[in-house]
Amino acid sequence: MGDYYRQFLSTMTGGEGYLPTSPDELNPGLMPGAVLPMSTPPIPSPYPSTIEYFAAYAEPAVVNAPKAGKSRRRSTANQGGGNPDQVKHRRTRSGCYTCRSRRVKCDETRPICDRCRKGNRECAYPEPPGSKGNFGRSAIKSKDGSSIQCISPTSSNEGEEDDTEQDARLETIPDDDEPDGLLRRESMSVLPQVRRASAVSLNTTPGGGRQNSETPSQDGTKSVSPSNSNSTVTTGSLTLAGHTGQEATLPPSGTADQTHLPPDFQNYLQFFKKNMTNYHYGLAVDEDDFFNSELPNVAIQFEPLLNALVGFAAYHVTLRNPNGKLQDFLQYYNRSVTQLLRLLKRKETHNVHVLLTILQLATIEEYLGDWVNLMGHQKAAFEILTRIYTPQTAMQSSIGRMCLSWYARFDNIIALMGRFPTEISREWFTTMVAFYQSQMTSNPTELRWKIEDRSARLRLISYDMSTLYARGSRQQIEPTDYAYEHNYLTAQLEEWKGSWDPVLCDPKHLVTDFPWRRLLDPNDIVDPYRPGLLYDHPLFNSTIITMEWHSIVIMHKSQSPDLSPEQLFAELGGHAFTVCELFECMEHWPELPAGTLIAMQPCLAIAGLFLPHQPNHNMWLRQKFAILEAQGHINPVTRRTKMAEIFGDPSCVHWWLPNDQGFTPILQSIRSFADERNARAVNSQQVNLREVKHLFDKLILG
């Protein structure tokens, strides 16, 4: 990966890294098993509270700071009159994983070293080293006798890229004369639990390799790999760095061991599994249960992803805590970015763990309303995605499919909002459609493939829309050709609507009984209890996808070259009211899956632009925006300013409802933090993305 992403991460806080936001990051001697406080009193910062710093502690932490530890060891040798190049403790590969991850010297006593025995910790040793080419991995025998690879802790050679030749042979951590029982919190052991029954094993059978296509290798050359278009579809697998075609399979129990993690991590992971769904990620379909089962298990293998995931869970916990503080979740987010920066320095980036980490960080940026930073993550994710997958190989495993869907959602939304091309080509989208249609043919009775197909086909149309809008905004297409292609896509959207499989529209699954019904208020703008709006499980996702279709139609027709704003309101009002009906119906439905309203936020946001600009409609929409922000989805200040202009009420820039109703102190803090991050200067392309100018320019304001 190029240096641009490292620079992007470094400059997000105006320095070469993220500030620590909890005392344990300032004091590496804290035990990783100690419970982190839910809230940490902030220390007054001498720096201005701007985007340049995450104000919590006085001194900015610089990731690229000089290697103090290395200098200390060499100066010790000099003071003794010895060889100036002599290092006190050379790095070896024979220490146990626990000591290496704790960055302390291991006495290498087997089967349990002295430090692990005294600390009552699990002691796991790598197998004897093989060839020099196996640096950074240790060979382990699986139950069936096949050799597998285990990634060693990322902290084992942290910041030592200067000693390239030595690091190729030596890898354990020097002794810092750390007292027994004191562990280093920032390097907690999460990767090398190699002897646990639930450890991840690798399937070394070829078959998951890249398809027959020219793709750049890590050295910049191109190679052609054989096709495996007939590969069996798998679940619970991922492609690891440097092991294209080898996939890690989760244990049969489906749950990786978490007992080695600090209690705060365990608590947040439990919260994530119980409360978070694919809908929190804006994705309507997750038939493999990736977010609830696979993602947490993969995160346990990789510290940057684990911190990003825990930070996302902590963000939602903090919102529910009346006494919540910013640092309650930022400490994990910051640590994830810092660890990712270290990986970038070591060029250890082209693997699915890093891809998932970047996508998780991008999701946090979306919640903070920072689409400019999100675009920076998206570009890095594109590079990794296209290095480790082709359109065909991505579809052969559940993790590959979700990586593509997760990334494609960002790619499409950014392209539609900013009117510029997507990063991935059309082949990725057509391959998704072809794959799901082939699965429908092979499994005609399974609903999951029919639902996936509906979503994939709608995503393909969205791709074609974004491509057309980008060409139009850059004047790369004649007006008559633009109008022709626009009409063609309109016909495609109508065809999509008319081609539902009857199984997905079975009326027996419609919700027709509303025991939770409340009396409608005169100010209500929709009737959420109209029969025929909502499908119950297992067809609930038909409702979600239908709502997405209405919002995509609104987006598409708003870009018509032939319709005036007045005509747009008349033609799109029906779609806008349907979206609002569905949103309110789901809001009050007792069986609503967690996170669904968040997933529908983009649909409501665009539909709200084409509601009548009347006081009751405005207040209804403001109430919904307040609900969504209370769930963590922050509207950037530029968007609030535009909506305040539509509503005719400047107070909406501050908060949606009068008298700060529902505007909790922690939500105010998050809002202020997000506004500061969004306040920096951007280029014209980023302005278009942040302000969605092509939509607001169509509206009649005032």
3-state SS record for 154-201: HHHHCCCCCCHHHHCCCCCCCCCCCCCCCCCHHHCCCCCCCCCCCCCE
Would residue 669 count as lying in a domain?
no
The residue among 133, 149, 182 that closes a domain is 182
Residues 222 and 112 in one domain: no
Please state the φ and ψ torsions of residue 148, each to the nearest 5 degrees. Answer: -130, 170
Residue type for position 297: N
Query: What tokens were used for 316?
Result: 């939602």
Please state the φ and ψ torsions of residue 27, each to the nearest 5 degrees. Answer: -115, 95
Residues 290 and 322 in one domain: yes
Exposed e or buried b per residue across 344-368, where buried means at least 16 C-beta atoms within 10 angstroms of its C-beta = bbeebbbbbbbbbbbbbbbbbbbbb
d(CA 260, CA 685): 46
Pairing of strands 137-141, 147-151: antiparallel
Closest CA to 98 of 124, 119, 120: 124
DSSP-derived letter for residue 595 is T
Q: Are 448 and 454 in contact (CB under 8 A)?
A: no
Helix (H, G, I), strand (E, B) or coil at 535: strand
d(CA 155, CA 100): 8
Would residue 572 count as lying in a domain?
no
Would residue 473 count as lying in a domain?
no
pLDDT for 114 equals 86
Residues 149 and 229 in one domain: no
Pairing of strands 243-249, 201-208: antiparallel
Q: Are 406 and 673 in contact (CB under 8 A)?
A: no
Query: What tokens were used for 108?
Result: 């290498």
Q: pTM to 2 decimals? A: 0.69
Within 13 Å and on the Cβ side, how many CA atoms surround 132?
6
Would residue 410 count as lying in a domain?
yes
128 vs 134, 151, 302, 565, CA distance in Å? 11, 15, 23, 72
d(CA 198, CA 261): 14
Cβ burial of 46 (10 Å; 0-12, 13-18, 19+) is: exposed
The residue among 424, 441, 459 that closes a domain is 424
Residues 243 and 148 in one domain: no
d(CA 607, CA 331): 36
The residue among 384, 404, 424 that closes a domain is 424
- What are the mean pLDDT values of the chain's consecutive 10-residue runs (702 residues total)? 71 42 36 32 32 30 37 43 46 69 78 80 64 36 35 37 36 39 30 30 32 38 38 43 40 68 96 96 93 94 96 97 93 94 83 96 94 88 95 96 96 88 95 97 95 96 95 92 96 96 95 90 89 93 96 94 84 95 95 96 94 94 97 93 93 96 96 85 52 47 34
Would residue 679 count as lying in a domain?
no
Residues 177 and 275 in one domain: no
Residues 233 and 356 in one domain: yes
Exposed e or buried b per residue across 330-340, where buried means at least 16 C-beta atoms within 10 angstroms of its C-beta = bbbbbbbbbbb
| Look-up of token digits 């539609």 | 416
Would residue 589 count as lying in a domain?
no
Measured in whole angstroms, the distance separating CA 417 from the mean position of its chain's CA atoms is 19
Q: Are 540 and 277 in contact (CB under 8 A)?
A: no
Residues 168 and 298 in one domain: no
Domain count across the chain: 2
Number of H helices, E strands in the chain: 26, 7
Residues 134 and 255 in one domain: no
Query: What tokens were used for 365?
Result: 């940026």
Query: What tokens were used for 646?
Result: 């539509």
d(CA 375, CA 595): 23
Would residue 137 count as lying in a domain?
yes
Range(s) of the domain holding residue 91: 68-182
d(CA 530, CA 462): 29
Residues 177 and 211 in one domain: no
Residues 145 and 209 in one domain: no
Helix (H, G, I), strand (E, B) or coil at 151: strand
Residues 407 and 374 in one domain: yes
Backbone angle region of 173, left / alpha / beta, with phi > 0 → left and psi within -120 to 50 → alpha: beta
Please state the φ and ψ torsions of residue 529, each to the nearest 5 degrees. Answer: -105, 15
Query: What tokens were used for 558?
Result: 């708003």
Closest CA to 289 of 308, 276, 305, 302: 276
Closest CA to 383 of 367, 399, 407: 407
Residues 277 and 156 in one domain: no
Would residue 20 count as lying in a domain?
no
